[in-house]
Amino acid sequence: MTTAASTTSPARPLTGPQKALLKLGLRRDIDLALHLPLRYEDETRITRLSEARDGEVVQIEVMVTASEVTLRPRRQLLVTVDDGSDTCTLRFFSFYPSQQQALAPGKRIRARGELRGGFLGWQMLHPSFQAAGGELPQALTPVYPTSAGLPQAYLRRAVQNGLARAELADTIPTEDLKKIGPQPLWGLKSSLSFLHHPAPDVALATLEDRSHPAWQRLKAEELLAQQLSQLQARRARAGLLAPVLAPQPGPGAGLADRLQAALPFALTGAQRRVQAEIAGDLGRPVPMHRLLQGDVGAGKTVVAALAAALCIDAGRQCALMAPTEILAEQHFAKLVGWLEPLGVKTAWLTGSQKPKERRAMLALIASGEAALVVGTHAVIQDKVLFHQLALAIIDEQHRFGVAQRLALRAKLSAEAQEPHLLMMTATPIPRTLAMSYYADLDVSTLDELPPGRTAIVTKVVNESRRDEVVERIRGQLVAGRQIYWVCPLIEESEALDLSNATQTHAHLSAALPGVLVGLLHSRLTAPEKKAVMAQFTSGQMGVLVSTTVIEVGVDVPNASLMVIEHAERFGLSQLHQLRGRVGRGAAASACVLLYSTGDAPRLGETARERLKAMAETGDGFEIARRDLEIRGPGEFLGARQSGAALLRFADLATDSALLAWARQLAPELLDQHPTQAERHVARWLGAKSEYLKA
Ligand code: ADP
Ligand code: MG
């Protein structure tokens, strides 16, 4: 295949613009063809100066009548031009001698720019220009997204060449295209040609909102590529072998049954259903790839423990990974409490471990003596060698970056047999996202909270009423309850974060004499954090002031009030997760969202929307839906840092019909026209398809 870079001989180093093209990911002809304009300029018409309007961007064809360089107020080239109907002054603050020559009196030029009327008549500042004459273009001129060192004119030529050379034969059967909708069908090639060079009479609004049939075609293509690649991944996995993790036959109950019998509570109906779904997967010789979603407090941990028990009972190892040390530690404590009495040995792995302890743990894992391994992402590091890993569980999977998720995949597939994978999240995935980015996953949902939970009343309170909040804390303490106070996240400055938390801690300690007020923040060492958490968990500590380190998974049922300071600075899912720390016991629980408008008279629009959503609903699915609306899928999926656009053309909010179409077509195409399907994925995703599976 011809590539943009290979048009020069390999011996010659790449020029600046060529490098810039590669940096933009414009490698193949098809990449260039799919690099669509940001907007268009109309160069198809010449406007007469006498008919122009102030502020209009126009193209004029004129004769230069005078040209001079003045030095005051600053050095500039002033060129007077005339088109027979009126005159205009072109003004340049920087110019080359060659440009000055091209603008000498007597030259005829075509200039384009914004026309400004004024006391001195028409003016244009730094217009683009060329020699007059020549044919006017028939189509609008594309303006492409570009980067430093890549001039628009160079990019236009490169795209034009790419478009001319790219192989653009349709990969989608016509009868399937007809199912897209009532609009007339456009081929891929004609859609692209049109979007790069639309006819001047096009309704620009249909290009801007991407409702034009050419846009519809491209969005449908893109969504189909995504569905196909996910389906390929799913089928590839179905061809892999995984260990069968079924209860052992023979006398006596299996480990999972014994664990269930030993629990201090009965499973909810939802937990039983989900457990059966997972057990079904684990009983098959094909790797499980399942997402367990359930609102904060729905009881995912015990479901994970039961899955681990099935795995361990089959004589294999299970690893559980959590995004933060505190959370991993809580899991560890809980799982050890449940499983060690049943004879299961558990290893603990984290980045902050002492080398000696770490070596001991690694040995336990390598020998297989530890049947269960719990930890942070330290679990997927190269040095960790499992004896026979058969099940990997990732808690709060969305909190792991894309790179870590890819590393996990690599690690898992390095095992002799493919392990089963269970991911858990408290941020439910809205339907359209589940259908697109997570089409490669089976999803189980815990849609029922354990009994006896009380609804959490959420109040949005202005910072000026802080004293009333402290009164309320006093009341809760008297009733024997505990309180979380979460301090703001200041992204740019960990130091500021800390000083704020320290101040709040001092203030509350003074306001609440005789009460143990603790402070938890990221600067503490792991043992210090552990000591603070232990005091809070045991009930000794009345109030825990904390930065967001407690965000996920911390479980203290006696805590009934959560105060979140500067709530306006938190994201919606984050607020919901934080709020989920209370309402876990029988006592009525509340969450106070303290906000401050700073120097502004009122809160910003999105902050207001977030706090409103929090006050209006406690339903994690509704929160997730609104969060997606506010943030868009890139950030929602945690892919923002990677800089890679997930879907470039389609928008899940508006294109759900196209998504449904693509979802239905993908399996048909893969079965009936496999080579076309391959071509389609290669064309659209190229090297990116791995990324989409992360
Ligand atoms: P999450 O889904 O947020 O991870 P956890 O697994 O931490 O929730 O569970 C929250 C709390 O509910 C824990 O204290 C857990 O022991 C308890 N729990 C879980 N399942 C049940 C149940 N069926 N009945 C009563 N309590 C339960
Ligand atoms: Mg949890």
Residue pLDDT, tens place only, 565-575: 989 888 888 88
Residues 618, 457: Cα–Cα separation, whole Å: 9
Ligand nearest to the CA of 304: 1
Q: Reply yes or no on whether the pLDDT at 672 is more than 80.
A: yes
* Average pLDDT over every residue of 188-204: 93
Ranges in the chain annotated CATH 3.40.50.300: 255-446, 456-617
* Top-confidence range, 244-258, 409-423, 460-474: 460-474
Check residue 399 and give its pLDDT.
Answer: 65
pLDDT confidence of 4, banded at 50, 70, 90? very low
Q: Reply yes or no on whether the pLDDT at 553 is more than 70.
A: no
- H/E element, 89: strand 87-92
Crossing angle for the helix pair 325-339 and 255-262, to the nearest 10 degrees:
100
**According to CATH, what is the number of the domain 45-131?**
2.40.50.140
Give the Å distance between the CA of 215 and the centre of ligand 2: 42
Residues 154, 159: Cα–Cα separation, whole Å: 9
Candidates 245, 361, 348, 226; CA nearest to 665 is 226
Which of 259, 265, 273 is the best mutation target for the ligand 1 pocket, counting ligand atoms within 8 Å of the beta carbon and taking the most? 265
Q: Ligand 1, atom 15: nearest CA belongs to which residue? A: 299
Q: Is any atom of ligand 1 closer than 6 Å to the C-beta of 294? A: yes
Letter for the amino acid at 377?
A: H
Which of 320, 374, 423, 555 is the best mutation target for the ligand 1 pocket, counting ligand atoms within 8 Å of the beta carbon and taking the most? 555
pLDDT confidence of 393, banded at 50, 70, 90? very high
Over the stretch 72-104, which tens digit does the pLDDT of each residue have? 888 999 999 999 999 999 999 999 999 999 999
C-beta separation of 255 from 310 below 8 A: yes
Give the Å distance between the CA of 562 and the centre of ligand 1: 19
Q: Reply yes or no on whether the pLDDT at 429 is more than 80.
A: no
Check residue 637 and give its pLDDT.
Answer: 59
Percent of the chain predicted with pLDDT > 70: 90
Residues 526, 506: Cα–Cα separation, whole Å: 22
Check residue 6 and give its pLDDT.
Answer: 47
Which of 137-141, 377-381, 607-611 is least confident?
Answer: 377-381
Give the Å distance between the CA of 555 and the centre of ligand 2: 8
Alpha-carbon distances of 274 from 310, 393, 441, 553, rounded to whole Å: 14, 15, 15, 20
* Top-confidence range, 355-364, 380-389, 404-413, 595-604: 355-364
Q: Ligand 1, atom 18: nearest CA belongs to which residue? A: 299
**According to CATH, what is the number of the domain 255-446?**
3.40.50.300
CATH superfamily of the 456-617 domain? P-loop containing nucleotide triphosphate hydrolases (3.40.50.300)
* Average pLDDT over every residue of 315-331: 87
Residues 114, 559: Cα–Cα separation, whole Å: 64
Mean pLDDT in the chain? 86
Residue with tokens 């059966």: 276
Q: Reply yes or no on whether the pLDDT at 440 is more than 90.
A: no
Q: Taking CA 25 as the corner, what is the angle to CA 23 and CA 27, rounded to the nearest 5 degrees?
A: 105
Give the Å distance between the CA of 328 and the centre of ligand 2: 10
Residues 247, 278: Cα–Cα separation, whole Å: 13
Give the Å distance between the CA of 275 and the centre of ligand 1: 14
Check residue 685 and give its pLDDT.
Answer: 84
Q: Ligand 1, atom 10: nearest CA belongs to which residue? A: 297
Q: Reply yes or no on whether the pLDDT at 465 is more than 80.
A: yes
Q: Which residues contact 120 (CB under 8 A, 6 or more apart)?
A: 89
Alpha-carbon distances of 566 from 465, 485, 575, 591, 597, rounded to whole Å: 13, 11, 11, 13, 9
Q: How far is CA 26 from the centre of its chain?
A: 23
Ranges in the chain annotated CATH 2.40.50.140: 45-131
pTM score: 0.73
Other CB atoms within 10 A of residue 395 CB:
27
C-beta separation of 634 from 196 below 8 A: no
